[in-house]
Structure formats: structure tokens, C-alpha cells
């Protein structure tokens, strides 16, 4: 597949190859910028307290304190111990998901029986986070960047293609020392059937 060049320079960013994931430390005060270089791609984000990885990002605590499921610039992402972990400093998309769990072997069997099974974002995150002492059962719901999951008035969910355009990004400021897990999503529905990379950069001195 020949992909167009991204619409804006991301030459200083790291690349997460299609259907893979990474983990890395992010220090308090530093900013993680996650870029969708070609558009219409999803990136699952996990965060753990670097000094005690039993403290992890929590969709329920976040929904509680932010009083919304629609998280964007100004929103904070909270831990299971009720501490702010990340603040969304900038967001050119405005549409993310925090309801669904990372795609996995089991979700591939369930939703894509006609396709080969893939370990998915869950397997990619589990491998990337293992060196930090994080076991698979310690993986909660991810904050799914750029993922587009409309909730109908009757409560039903739909996984629709992201509205992100090439070069769109989100910037998140760390409120504590963190271990971050980050993927280029492996599932068919979440990115409109195409697998693309994700780019990210860590800004160590930028005003958030």
C-alpha cells in the first residue's frame, strides 16, 4: 500500500509501526504529543504511576470527576486512586473513546471470525509493558485516542471510523511520573479497515 506523506512535518517524532505498540516513561511536567500522520487511525493509550504501577488510568474515575464521557482539551485523565495522571493540553480532533477495552485475540475471534486472529492492541501493550512489571491482568480500559464510538440515545454503541485528518494530534501533559503504553491500533472497525502507523513525540520543555 502506498501512503501519502503526512500533511505536516513530524520528522522529530517516533513511529509506531502498524499493528504494534510501545511503552516508555513520561516524566511529570513533560508533554506527550500523539499524531495521526495519515488520518483515520486509532492509538490506545495506557498510563501507570511510574513509582507504583498498581496505580493505573481509570475510565470510571475519569467519568466521575470530569462528569462527561466526551474528553478533550482541558479534561484530566484520572487514576484508580483518584489522582490526575494526564491533562489534555491540546486536541485538534476532539473525539476519543474511553468506553472500550483494547482489541485482543478474543475480540478478533468475536468480531472478525473471517479474518486471521491478531493479538491486537492488548497483546502489543502486554508485551511492551511487561518490562515495567505490568501483567496482562493489570491492563484496564485504554484511553483510545482518535477512536470514534458514538453512543445512541438508547445506549447502543457503534465503532465508526475516526474523524481525524492527516497530521491531527493530541497533546497530554503528565501530572505525575508515568509509564505510558501506546499503540497503532490493530482492529478493522476502529480505523475504517486500514492499518496505519502512529507518531509520537515527548516535549520536555514546552509550555502545556
Question: What is the contact surface with a copy of itself in residues (CB under 8 A)?
Answer: 54-56, 58-61, 63-65, 67-70, 80-82, 99-101, 104, 106-107, 110, 135, 137, 139-141, 151, 153-158
- Angstrom CA distances, 51 to 27, 28, 134, 177, stand at 11, 12, 12, 7
Q: How far is the CB of 3 from a copy of itself (least distance, A)?
A: 29
Could you tell me the three cell numbers for 91? Answer: 486536541
CA pair distance 36, 42, nearest whole angstrom: 8
Q: How far is the CB of 67 from a copy of itself (least distance, A)?
A: 5
Q: Toward a copy of itself, which CB reaches closer, 86 or 147? A: 147
Q: How far is the CB of 155 from a copy of itself (least distance, A)?
A: 3
Q: Toward a copy of itself, which CB reaches closer, 63 or 167? A: 63
Give every strand in the sheet of 143-145, ordered side by side. Answer: 21-26, 178-183, 43-49, 143-145
Give the chain's length: 208
Question: Is 37:166 a contact under the CB 8 Å cutoff?
Answer: yes
CA pair distance 187, 103, nearest whole angstrom: 6
Question: What phi and psi values does residue 48 have, to the nearest 5 degrees?
Answer: -130, 150
Q: Toward a copy of itself, which CB reaches closer, 3 or 130? A: 130
Q: How far is the CB of 173 from a copy of itself (least distance, A)?
A: 21
Q: Toward a copy of itself, which CB reaches closer, 89 or 189? A: 189
Q: Toward a copy of itself, which CB reaches closer, 3 or 70? A: 70
Nearest CA-CA partner of 43 in 124, 119, 117, 143: 143
List the end-to-end C-alpha distance of the chain, in Å, as a whole number: 36
Q: How far is the CB of 34 from a copy of itself (least distance, A)?
A: 20
Amino acid at each position: 500500500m502506498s501512503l501519502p506523506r503526512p500533511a505536516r512535518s513530524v520528522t522529530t517524532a517516533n513511529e509506531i509501526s502498524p499493528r504494534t505498540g510501545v511503552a516508555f516513561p513520561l516524566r511529570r511536567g513533560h508533554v506527550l504529543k500523539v499524531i495521526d500522520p495519515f488520518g483515520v487511525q486509532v492509538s490506545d493509550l495506557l498510563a501507570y504511576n511510574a513509582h507504583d504501577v498498581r496505580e493505573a488510568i481509570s475510565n470510571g474515575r475519569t467519568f466521575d470527576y470530569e462528569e462527561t464521557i466526551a474528553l478533550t482539551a482541558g479534561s484530566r485523565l484520572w487514576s484508580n486512586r483518584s489522582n490526575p495522571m494526564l491533562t489534555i493540553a491540546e486536541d485538534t480532533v476532539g473525539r476519543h473513546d474511553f468506553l472500550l477495552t483494547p482489541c485482543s485475540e478474543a475480540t478478533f475471534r468475536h468480531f472478525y471470525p473471517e479474518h486471521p486472529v491478531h493479538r491486537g492492541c492488548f497483546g502489543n501493550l502486554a508485551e511492551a509493558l511487561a518490562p515495567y512489571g505490568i501483567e496482562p491482568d493489570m491492563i484496564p480500559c485504554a484511553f483510545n485516542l482518535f477512536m470514534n464510538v458514538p453512543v445512541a440515545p438508547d445506549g447502543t454503541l457503534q465503532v465508526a471510523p475516526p474523524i481525524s485528518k492527516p497530521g491531527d494530534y493530541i497533546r497530554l501533559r503528565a501530572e505525575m511520573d508515568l509509564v505510558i503504553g501506546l499503540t497503532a491500533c490493530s482492529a478493522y472497525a476502529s480505523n475504517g479497515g486500514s492499518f496505519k502507523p502512529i507518531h509520537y513525540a515527548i516535549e520536555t520543555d514546552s509550555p502545556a
